[in-house]
Structure 1
Amino acid sequence: MTRSGSLRRSTAALQRDGVIGWRVRQTAFQRRQGLATFSAITAAGAGAYSVRDADADEGLAFVREAVPGLLEPFVERGDPVAAR
Structure 2
Amino acid sequence: MIALFASLLSACVTSVNDWSRPGASVADIQHDKAECQYQAKAATASYHSSPAADDTTHGMGSAVGDGIVIAEKQIDLTNDCMRVKGYSGQ
TM-score by length of 2: 0.22
Structure with higher RCO (Cα < 8 A, 6+ apart): 2
Q: Name which one, 1 or 2, has greater alpha-carbon Rg.
A: 2
Greater strand share, structure number: 1
Greater helix share, structure number: 2
TM-score by length of 1: 0.23
